[in-house]
Amino acid sequence: MSIYKDAKYMDVPYEEKQKLFQEVKDDMRWDTTLYGCYECGICVAACPSARFYDFSPRVFAQIMAREDVDTFYELLNDSVWDCSQCFSCTRCPRQNNPGTIITIMREVAVNHGLSSAKKALQAYSRIIYKIMSTGTQVAPDMLQPDFFPDWGPDVKAVSENLDVWRRAIPPETMHTTELAWDVSEKTRLELYMIWKLTGNLEMIEKIDEGIFMILEEVMEELLDEHGYDIDDFENVLED
């Protein structure tokens, strides 16, 4: 039972929560993330997210240490997405690493296609598409006033002059507007193989089926051009 009277998600079967909790603890990184907690609060004092959200890295460390499965599930669905992943919390005198606990928890949330994860990543889908299809996360043509209105008039100036300004950069790898740099076709091909071989594409299917379908089509086309069949790439993690 949760230690909190107002615990949420009490309608979710305990066994389901326990299964996800165990998945976090089964991750190979788990053994080096938690060594007990002094409750000193250093991690919270160092944490940027704790200043602006109802979020505490200490709670993650303590709940995991206490094996409070109900509260774990609540964190997994709510504040896990508030973390900044800066790892300032590693200032912990016990050498706990709440940031990595959260990385693992997020991975479990994505792997299970939790609706909270889908919601948290809803506006982020196009970034996932960009990184997985091109190997670069951001591109010059993302600098549009509609997407970054809060970044000021310079964004408008960049978007209006994008083509010329990109050509007015000396390194030849950067003369592109759609990619951060001119990524070779070979790189993209090998990345697609990695996504398939490591089951990464399957994760995307669970979180955003639309993006998965577009990605698979793009990957299939390039692999096919190079004489590969996308279905020939087995998931090596399942061995």
Q: Which is nearer to other proteins, 13 or 170 (CB)?
A: 170
DSSP letters for 189-239: HHHHHHHHHTTHHHHHHHH-HHHHHHHHHHHHHHHHHTT--GGG---GGG-
- Of residues 26-45, those binding other proteins (CB under 8 A): 27-29, 32
Which are the contacts of 81, defined by CB distance < 8 A and separation ≥ 6? 106, 116, 117, 120
Q: Which is nearer to other proteins, 9 or 87 (CB)?
A: 87
Q: How far is the CB of 224 from other proteins (least distance, A)?
A: 17
Q: Which is nearer to other proteins, 22 or 137 (CB)?
A: 137
CA 169 → CA 88, 106, 142, 192, distances in Å?
35, 38, 18, 29
Q: Which of 138, 209, 213, 224 binds other proteins (CB under 8 A)?
A: 138
Q: What is the spatial distance between Cα 1 and Cα 122, in angstroms, rounded to a whole number?
A: 31
Q: Which of 12, 42, 44, 139 binds other proteins (CB under 8 A)?
A: 139
Q: How far is the CB of 5 from other proteins (least distance, A)?
A: 29
Diameter over CA atoms, the chain: 62
Q: How far is the CB of 147 from other proteins (least distance, A)?
A: 9
Q: Which is nearer to other proteins, 1 or 137 (CB)?
A: 137
**Residue 220: which of 239, 195, 192, 179 has the closest Cα?**
192
Residues in contact with other proteins, shown as a per-residue x/- string from 58 to 97 under the rule CB under 8 A = -----------------------x--xxxxx-xx------
Q: What is the spatial distance between Cα 197 and Cα 238, in angstroms, rounded to a whole number?
A: 10
- Of residues 97-136, those binding other proteins (CB under 8 A): 103, 106-107, 109-110, 120-121, 123-124, 127-128, 131-132, 135-136
